[in-house]
Structure 1
């Protein structure tokens, strides 16, 4: 089982983006560790994930960090640093007003003073025992760690890198393209067999990157985004795959149960686009009603059964907070 193997599929039409099915650890093993920490990534690799997924935002001095969003107070202890209190502000990012501390306002040296913490302490209280043990990793540090784990475990580990809020950072003259490509080239990873894939919801940055890099590109789609034939035709011009909200493949009924599959996987495969679904989480709170076990929202339900349903629907990759459970489902379906 492997992921992100040869080539730029729809641009070259020579090979598939993934040897299906692939398990991708969402922000690392974030069901078990605070997200986007080196421990979360290593835990996912130890559990057998084919790849890890991380999101990228910049610092004030242009260094890429592994954080889901540029506002840092949800996943770090930044609010507890009096010396950074003057940087608290309100901004509009991707159309949403938020107040806090933003990565683009802190230098790397200031970020180094922060400690990571669990995003969802109420739902994942067990993860909070790891609060404060690690800082915020840079992309460079993650690439170094993955290279070491690849050697140590004797198997290649893939990387899915999501470029966050790129129109917002473009407007600030802090575009993600240059630091990203610089990091990939410094690590010798800007080639089709590097097992690195770049993802974004923003079409513009993917179109900019298409002629500049040889790594595969994935267009992310959320509920409400078009995924009909013309939309997929346009995506196929510059991307190699799509990463879609799970409801676009297996929607839910009015009572929250899993419904019949849409045409998306079949239509995407006809265009040589691989399909990754996000985000599979094991807690009852996130699961379809027919896959929940018990009444506790924080209790773990039947993620394996849900993963099997998506594998039956033909997806090429499962992006999940609980990679161990998805790995078991893949093995059982083999």
Structure 2
């Protein structure tokens, strides 16, 4: 399908909500992200045993919920191979939504965000529908449209266990009025084949995520030799433009760092993407020095200014208020 999606305004994407201030992927984090100026809120989507899309960073949930301390579910602990890596813990696809709703979220990186541990145990795992309801409710209340920016997590894996993410995602979006190339939604994935398939089924904007290393897992499965670095070239972007409307790129693909964490000269990625009519959304901006380049320690606003000056179209931020400074 041919899509003509254009957006001339730089957007702020609340990365998993305002996850610098609240445990990620909770309605509290999304609501705060909206209050702090986000244009879009971003849920990573995984699936329950009974086929409901929920927001978690990964399908293994011991790092983001209290499941490990819940004796009722002790026997659900298991080891699985997810995208070629062995993972041990508790997995969303082994729980019904009703069971998952008995769990409570916790801060994923307490060593860096100890202040967020004050909210541990307070918030449920939200469904995609609940996140949409929040975005639409807040849009009506504040008089500006809040978009959603869902990511399909581990799509090849979920398809392999007959819990495909794409069909319920599209049906939920359509049921809630998200249709057409200018709908306030972006669908993103680190894999390629599911986006290519989606491009034949919807006019909604699609985003190819590009990491600073490695390759899409569906390429690993299919034996495709290309890496994310190959996709980020001018010729790779030309291929992406056949099925997607934007690229969501790791910051280091645009402004690399040296071995000491100091920034190097910017690459041509923005101009190359724009030459192929692709928007460029950059991830992830965080305030902590642990994540900042050496050049901007203690000055996260300076990092934003640099990237904004390069002509990008959007940022994923854990601190939307800093992005909107």
Q: Secondary structure at the match of 2:50?
A: coil
Partner of 1:95: 84
In 1, the alpha carbon distance for the partners of 2:3 and 2:136 equals 27
Partner of 2:317: 320
- The Cα shift of 1:255 comes to 2.0
Pairing of 1:270-281 with structure 2 (within 5 A): 270-281=275-286
User: Which residue of the other structure, out of 290, 295, 300, is the alignment partner of 1:303?
Assistant: 300
Partner of 1:158: 147
Partner of 1:123: 112
Partner of 1:113: 102
Normalised by the size of structure 1, how large is the TM-score?
A: 0.90
The structure 1 segments of at least 4 consecutive aligned residues displaced by more than 3 Å after TM superposition are none
5+ residue gaps in structure 1?
A: 1-7, 293-300, 329-334
In 2, the alpha carbon distance for the partners of 1:84 and 1:284 equals 37
Are the equivalent residues in 2 in contact too, given 1:219–1:241 (CA < 8 A)?
A: yes
Instruction: Establish whether residue 282 from structure 1 lines up as the match of residue 273 from structure 2.
Output: no
- The Cα shift of 1:190 comes to 2.9
Partner of 1:47: 36
- The Cα shift of 1:69 comes to 0.4
CA RMSD, Structure 1 to Structure 2 (Å): 1.1
Q: Deviations over 1:275-327 (max 9, x none)?
A: 011001110000001111xxxxxxxx211110111011111101111110000
Pairing of 1:34-73 with structure 2 (within 5 A): 34-73=23-62
In 2, the alpha carbon distance for the partners of 1:162 and 1:79 equals 25
Are the equivalent residues in 2 in contact too, given 1:48–1:323 (CA < 8 A)?
A: yes
5+ residue gaps in structure 2?
A: 214-227
Normalised by the size of structure 2, how large is the TM-score?
A: 0.93
Are the equivalent residues in 2 in contact too, given 1:181–1:190 (CA < 8 A)?
A: no
Partner of 1:228: 233
Q: Secondary structure at the match of 1:137?
A: coil
In 1, the alpha carbon distance for the partners of 2:3 and 2:123 equals 41
Q: How many residues align?
A: 309
- The Cα shift of 1:95 comes to 1.5
Partner of 2:269: 264
Q: Secondary structure at the match of 1:284?
A: coil
Partner of 1:3: none
